[in-house]
Amino acid sequence: MKIWVPMDSAAKALGADEVAEAITREAASRGIDAQIIRNGTRGMIWLEPLVEIDRGDGRLAYGPVGVDDVPALLDGAMDSLGPVENIPFFARQTRLTFARCGIIDPLDLDDYQAHGGLAGLRRAIAMTREDIVQQVTDSGLRGRGGAGFPTGIKWKTVMQAEAAQKYIVCNADEGDSGTFADRMIMEGDPFTLIEGMAIAGIGVGATRGYVYLRSEYPDAIKVMNAAVRIARDRGMLGQSVLGSDHEFDMQIRVGAGAYVCGEETSLLNSLEGKRGVVRAKPPLPALEGFLGKPTVVNNVISLATVPVIFERGAEHYAGLGHNKSRGTATLQIAGNVRHGGLFEAGFGITLGEVVNDIAGGTASGRPVKAVQVGGPLGAYMPVEKFDTKMGYEEFDAEGGLIGHAGLVVFDDSADMLRMARFAMEFCAVESCGKCTPCRIGAVRGVETIDRIAAGDAAAADLLTDLCETMKDGSLCALGGFTPYPVMSALRNFPDDFATQKEAAE
């Protein structure tokens, strides 16, 4: 009998380790010959710890499983959810980037290969640099870290740059609230990221890579470090990648708790051992990046999607999606939702479908009030905008952004003035301090919102002006995009900004 218990940190935070121990204990006392595998999560977080058991006729899911449920689980007396693939939340997805996540043992390279792993890297090794970069361009892949910049174009710039040393830097700083896709793939299928970075290295002519991983993710750090060691021992990394003429090796570097270090130039400074302040652009990191050398900086999901593009072909990937947003969106459904987790599907699904149909509305059972899409720098979308389709341009047209594709749902108890104030406060705490509109503007923003709350009607116009200044004058999107949550709260939920004043009148 095979039993899978996730080692994903969300599953562990909900008791997966205790459940795994109980299963080991109970199985032994029952004389059951059970092989326990610690897998990644299947992404249905409301069902975690989600245990799967194969008694010889396929994997059946059970969840959420508590320690007290374990005897019934092993006696076959616990109701099964059926195969994971039949659970509606899962059945509706198109899993490409996350195809293996939750299925395999994350640190078993043979299991990885048995599920399509390394096929993309092998294909890339047989291609020219130009063809590798062209594949990525043809796939339509755009950066999943926030800005949505075409990945193939970035790679081409680095490929064409002449330098003795080039680098691949993976941005695993994942600081946005509402996002956990990077963490999930690093904990659940780390070789995918390593493979994607190796393909990037071969494509642009870079022999060294770094993953800049936030310190708030101790489990992901452990899994990635272990995976890199295994990949090196097995010849997937090193002087001769999979026995080819190509060299590529990589290291994991740990951040130190600064949100702004997710911004690529700040990240590069941090990686070099400096203060994580933003650099002025140009020069582009693609030309003068880590240690002044040409550098690809890509998000975890961008890089982890590369292997499947090479495995199945650029056309297959580009065949999914909507308008200029090709392939799959790895949505992270979070906050006050009944069914939260990772949902991967082609771009083009509407916000309302995601929140109401897939997530099943709020966890509290109260009406949805707002959804913040794209992290702390993303807009608060009201229910009136629920027919907005998931796509970069589509969200932009509605005054929002997709960002790293995290969705945080709020019920009607949310106070949008407080959320706007929090956005400014967060910007003030996390500003790198280099530019005035962000550093000072955010502090003024908090004060101005407090004036609105105290009943000063004129302060709303001041806030609007201040947001314009931050938007136009900030060096990076921390100060530049903080106006998104603030102004969307003010515009879409004017009542929340008027209550105090009216109460005073």
Binding stretches for ligand FMN (CB under 6 A): 143-147, 149, 171, 173-175, 260, 262-264, 297-299, 302, 476-478
Is the alpha carbon torsion for 311, 315, 319, 325 positive or negative? Answer: positive
282 binds other proteins (CB under 8 A): no
Nearer to ligand FMN, 171 or 362 (CB): 171
Closest CA to 344 of 336, 356, 333: 333
Pair 202, 135: CB distance under 8 Å? no
Q: How far is the CB of 116 from other proteins (least distance, A)?
A: 26
Please identify, using beta-carbon distances, which residue of 47 and 258 lies nearer to ligand FMN. Answer: 258
The least distance separating ligand FMN from the CB of residue 319, rounded to whole angstroms, comes to 21
Binding-site partner at residue 23 among other proteins, ligand FMN, none, CB < 5 to 8 Å by type: none
Selected binder of other proteins within 155, 248, 410, 497 (CB under 8 A)? 410
Q: Is 275 in the site for other proteins (CB under 8 A)?
A: yes
Burial class, 505, CB count within 10 angstroms (exposed 0-12 / middle 13-18 / buried 19+): exposed
Work out what residue 147 binds among ligand FMN, other proteins, none; the CB cut-off runs from 5 to 8 Å by kind. Answer: ligand FMN
**Which pair of structure tokens corresponds to residue 221?**
């750090």
Residue 225 touches other proteins, criterion: CB under 8 A: no
Does 10 engage in binding with other proteins (CB under 8 A)?
A: yes
Our CB check for ligand FMN shows the closer of 63 and 437 to be: 437
Pairing of strands 249-254, 295-299: unpaired
233-252: contacts with other proteins (CB under 8 A): 251
Q: Which of 174, 195, 263, 311 binds other proteins (CB under 8 A)?
A: 174
On the 0-12 / 13-18 / 19+ scale of CB atoms within 10 A, 260 is: buried
- 43 or 262: whose CB is closer to ligand FMN? 262
Q: How far is the CB of 153 from other proteins (least distance, A)?
A: 26
- How many other CB atoms are found less than 10 A from the CB of residue 30? 12
Of the candidates 449, 457, 376, the residue with the CA atom closest to the CA atom of residue 417: 449
Listed in sequence order, the residues at least 6 apart from 87 whose beta carbon sits closer than 8 Å to its beta carbon are 44, 47, 61, 81
Q: Report what 476 binds from ligand FMN, other proteins, none; CB cut-off 5-8 Å by kind.
A: ligand FMN
SS3 (DSSP) at 334: strand
Among residues 123, 206, 225, 114, the alpha carbon closest in space to that of 168 is found at: 206
Cα–Cα distance, 201 to 205 (Å, whole number): 6
* CA dist list (Å): 299 to 141, 174, 329: 12, 9, 14
* CB closer to ligand FMN out of 106 and 378: 378
> Does the footprint of other proteins cover residue 88 (CB under 8 A)?
no
Q: Does 304 bind other proteins (CB under 8 A)?
A: no
Least distance to other proteins from the beta carbon of 362, Å? Answer: 9
Q: Does 254 bind other proteins (CB under 8 A)?
A: yes
Is residue 163 a contact residue for other proteins (CB under 8 A)?
Answer: no
From the number of C-beta atoms within 10 Å of its C-beta (0-12, 13-18, 19+), residue 9 rates as buried
Comparing CB distances to other proteins, the nearer of 135 and 179 is 179
Distance (Å, whole) CA 142 – CA 466 = 31
Interface pick for other proteins out of 106, 148, 341, 391 (rule CB under 8 A): 341
Q: Report in angstroms how near the CB of residue 447 gets to ligand FMN at its nearest.
A: 22
| From candidates 4, 62, 191, 259, binder to other proteins by CB under 8 A | 259
53 phi, psi to nearest 5 deg: -125, 130
Binding partner of residue 379 among ligand FMN, other proteins, none, CB cut-off 5 to 8 Å per kind = none
List Cα–Cα distances, 194 to 190, 209, 231, 248, 350, in angstroms.
7, 9, 8, 10, 32
Closest by alpha carbon to 371, among 393, 349, 356?
Answer: 356
Nearest-approach distance from CB 215 to other proteins, in angstroms: 6
| 68, 233, 272, 461: residue in contact with other proteins (rule CB under 8 A) | 272
Instruction: Return the closest-CA partner of residue 404 out of 499, 485, 298.
Output: 298
Nearest distance from C-beta of residue 429 to other proteins, angstroms: 8
Asked if residue 138 lies in contact with residue 367, where contact means CB atoms within 8 angstroms, the answer is no
Does position 290 interact with other proteins (CB under 8 A)? The reply is yes
Q: Which amino acid type is present at position 153? A: I
Tell which positions 23-52 bind other proteins, by CB under 8 A: 45-46, 48
List 257, 292, 367, 494, residue binding other proteins (CB under 8 A):
257
Give the span between the Cα atoms of 82 and 92, in whole angstroms. Answer: 15
**Footprint of other proteins (CB under 8 A):** 9-10, 12-14, 45-46, 48, 174-180, 183, 208, 215-219, 251, 253-259, 270-277, 290-291, 332-337, 340-341, 363, 372, 376, 406, 408-411, 414, 419, 422, 426, 430, 432
